[in-house]
Amino acid sequence: MNFSTITIKDIATALNLSVSTVSKALRDSYEISEATKKLINDYAREHNYRPNPIAQSLKQGQSKSIGIVVPSVANQFFSQVINGIESVAYEAGFNVIITQTHESLEREIANVGHLTHRSIDGLLISLSTETEDIGHLKRLHQQGLPIVFFDRVSEEIETHKVIADNFKGAYDATRHLIESGYTRIAHITSPPSISITVERLAGYTQALAEAGIEPPNEYVKYCAHGGRDINEIEHAVNDLLSLKAKPDAILTTSDRITTTTLHLLNKLGVAIPEEIALVGYTNTTLADALNPSLSSVYQPGFEMGQKATELLLSLILSKRPVYEFEKLVLPTQLVIRKSTSPKNDGQ
């Protein structure tokens, strides 16, 4: 059974009125009498009339739609960002169209193309782990499409950006491990080409340097697709466990890498934190229920989505060209649980 709607022309024909009269009545124009407005609105409601958003956008010069590109909606962090985006967009009368890249540059390019063909008014994007060349975004930006980056950003386009304090999050987590008695601290992270990897690696390195610790190169493991494939995380974990000077702690830097590393260590029978302590970036609401409960760096995903959307709407609704842009850095929070218990607690 098809779900059908009627048009303004259908209403006009049925009520023997002009299309102009019906259109004005539906917009509550003062030019139309209250009796005629009631007649038209009652008929429209009874016969399932819905405004045509495409026709409205042509009149208004806006589609009232925002495109969103994220690596994965299954990721707790990105799902929280999307909730933040929707909370602001819907309040402002904008719809959102959500796409995911699954960490593929090819899919990112395709998704952006599909969104722009649907005449979106602006784009919110967190880059895939494969994205090094952003030519597809530069062309759209040069053509006037408002774009705001969040989380994984590029400095090649001058626009608004919203990120977490990646440096401090990794710095605080590493510092906590050091203060808990761990000195052989490894780092499993995303590919070195993306912004969050660079910033988090810098925080990790700085905390170690301040403590006079210089980790061997093999302590830093990169997952080419951000851990999308469990095999790349498994390979990193096995490499670390096979080292002669096996690490006594690991810092991980994404939801997927963190929870998968915990799962793999448990599967291999590695006692946490007695043999290896673990702290990682994750926004999972199950961190307290994991075995053991997981120390984590929490990012304000919902707030990031809100701020990014507010900035995008400011670009979309601006009556004049915008030449000054913000890079908002939101604070992270280190939540300490059992996976990083101090070494002097019987270790």
- Domain ranges for the chain, please list them: 8-51, 63-164+301-330, 166-298+334-340
pLDDT of residue 46: 82
CATH superfamily for domain 166-298+334-340: Response regulator (3.40.50.2300)
Could you read off the pLDDT tens digit of each residue along the chain, which spans 347 residues?
234 457 888 899 999 999 889 988 888 888 899 999 999 999 988 886 766 544 554 455 567 899 999 999 988 899 999 999 999 999 999 999 999 999 999 999 999 999 988 778 999 999 999 999 999 999 889 888 899 999 999 999 999 999 999 999 999 999 999 999 999 999 999 999 999 999 999 999 999 999 999 989 999 999 988 888 899 999 999 999 999 999 999 999 999 999 999 999 999 999 999 999 999 999 988 888 888 999 999 999 999 999 999 999 999 998 888 889 999 999 999 999 999 999 865 45
Contact 264, 229 (CB under 8 A): no
Other CB atoms within a 10 A radius of the CB of residue 35 amount to: 8
For residue 12 the two structure tokens come to 């006009």
Phi and psi at 302, nearest 5°, equal -60, -45
Contact 230, 262 (CB under 8 A): no
pLDDT of residue 290: 86
What does the chain come to in residues? 347
Q: Regarding beta strands 333-335 and 295-298, do their DSSP bridges make them parallel or antiparallel, or are they unpaired?
A: antiparallel
Alpha helices by DSSP H, listed for 75-165, are: 76-91, 105-117, 135-142
Contact 270, 291 (CB under 8 A): no
| Interatomic CA distance for residues 337 and 279, integer angstroms | 9
pLDDT of residue 62: 67
pLDDT of residue 57: 47
The pTM of this model reads: 0.81
| Interatomic CA distance for residues 262 and 291, integer angstroms | 8
Tell me which residue has tokens 């951000």.
226
Same fold, 63-164+301-330 and 166-298+334-340: yes
For residue 231 the two structure tokens come to 């095999």
Closest CA to 282 of 262, 261, 299: 299
| Interatomic CA distance for residues 311 and 7, integer angstroms | 35
Closest CA to 62 of 50, 54, 70: 54
pLDDT of residue 321: 84
Q: Regarding beta strands 65-70 and 95-100, do their DSSP bridges make them parallel or antiparallel, or are they unpaired?
A: parallel
Contact 199, 233 (CB under 8 A): no
Distances (CA, A) of 77 to 72, 167, 326: 9, 18, 22
Phi and psi at 142, nearest 5°, equal -65, -30
Q: How many helices (H) and strands (E) does the chain have?
A: 12, 12
Contact 221, 236 (CB under 8 A): yes
CATH number, domain 63-164+301-330, options 3.40.50.2300, 3.40.50.300, 1.10.10.10, 3.40.50.970? 3.40.50.2300
